[in-house]
Amino acid sequence: MPLTRETVLNTLKTIADPLTGEDIVATGMIRGLRVAGGDVRFVMEIDSRRFADMEALKEEAEAKLASLEDCDDVQIVLTSHSDQATPPERPKEPQPIRPEPAPPGTSGPQKVAGIGRVIAIASGKGGVGKSTVAANLACALAAQGRRVGLLDADVYGPSQPKMLGITGRPTSPDGRMILPLRNHGVTMMSIGLMTSGDEAVAWRGPMLMGALQQMMSQVQWGALDVLIVDLPPGTGDVQMTLSQKFVVDGAIIVSTPQDVALLDARKGIDMFRQMNVPILGMIENMSTHICSNCGHEEHVFGHGGVAAEAEKIGVPLLAEIPLHLNIRLAADSGTPLAIKSPDAPEAGVFRQLAAALIDGGKA
């Protein structure tokens, strides 16, 4: 039986704070609990003056959880937000990254130091391949010599770590600057890695704004030519915050050819226009199905709907990406097709898209 969150919490409830007798779940010190397969991770937020007691509780929790039948790995990080200094001999472990409310009084879109351009990849609807496009575009730009960052801003579940084959967790040695992860020449940070999914879903307003601001300005991106931001679908808080708080140099809207996806894409375009974000263009994904056995082409979701829509609203059609098994297999394997088989015919579209953006001075 897989390890459940409930089993973990019930186990933690058997451990009591020696000072108050209260169990450690009831004290509220357990934060950011994430149970995935047999892996358990969480933060214990403690009063640093009671470091020795808390270290003992942490060890007890580790031992009890590790002894559960289906538990493979336990990672607990102690953190303190009191003003008291933590004992000097501890801790060399990276501090956890926590979303903070946005600082009050910041106004107007800001440029992020060191980042040449910010390009948002958006879609009206989920599942149209926005993350696939973002990952392949980022890799294709890196392969053409650009210094590229990829910010996965999907609060509901990160997909970029998997697509880019990144398994580590971001760390923050000083509890402030966040060290991003890197693969295939792309520096990546995912907002979904900051906390457990169920916490993130509850983020609204200031919390979300703060998390996004941290991602943009507290991540050590290094000098970048372009930062690609993979947005969640729709026109919600993340989109609004990004374009209100940061200079977004352009948005690319990904859609499948069906009317319903197009309808939502139009709403996205309207929102960016209202926020004065230039629309670089639209991309039709899953445009034509190319059979991986015989190469036969067919239009599963219709074809040309995005081209017609782009013309109607006066924005360029940047690419038509085929629906091809290799695109999915490569994404699932952690090496986007633009890197895995850059010369495959179905990968050419990403190379051309990257080249066109570079030539047009957009990336």
Taking the complex as a whole, how short is the minimal distance between the CB of residue 339 and ligand ATP, in angstroms? 15
- Rounded to a whole number of angstroms, the minimum distance from the CB of residue 161 to ligand ATP is 12
Considering the complex, state which of residue 96 and residue 129 has its C-beta at the smaller distance from ligand ATP.
129
Toward ligand ATP, which CB reaches closer, 29 or 153?
A: 153
Beta carbon of residue 244, minimum distance to ligand ATP (angstroms, whole number): 21
What DSSP assignment string belongs to 66-128? HTSTT--EEEEEEEE-SSSPPPTT---SPBPP---PPPTT--S-BPPTTEEEEEEEE-SSTTS
268 assigned binding-site residue: no
Nearer to ligand ATP, 242 or 286 (CB): 286
d(Cα 309, Cα 293) in Å, to the nearest integer? 32
| Residue 116 annotated as part of some ligand binding site | no
Question: How far apart are CB 322 and ligand ATP at their closest, in Å?
Answer: 6
Q: Does the annotation place 130 within a ligand binding site?
A: yes
Long-range contacts for 295-298 (Cβ within 8 Å, ≥24 apart)?
A: 297/322
340 is in an annotated binding site: no
In the complex, minimum distance from the CB of residue 226 to ligand ATP, in angstroms, rounded to a whole number: 19
Q: Is position 131 annotated in a ligand binding site?
A: yes
Between residues 131 and 213, which has the closer beta carbon with respect to ligand ATP?
A: 131
The answer on whether 245 is annotated among ligand-binding residues is no
Residue ranges binding ligand ATP (CB under 6 A) = 123, 126-132, 154, 159, 233, 285-286, 321, 323-324, 327-328, 331
The contacts of residue 219 (CB under 8 Å, 6+ apart) are 151, 170, 177, 178, 179, 180, 189
Strand partners, 121: 230, 252
| Nearest one of 28, 26, 32, 36 to 3, comparing CA atoms | 36
Q: Output the DSSP codes for 170-198.
A: -BBTTSSSBB-EEETTEEEEEGGGSS-HH
**Nearer to ligand ATP among residue 95 and residue 285 (C-beta):** 285
Phi, psi (deg, nearest 5) at residue 166 = -105, 125
Residues marked as binding for ATP? Answer: 124-131
Residues marked as binding? Answer: 124-131
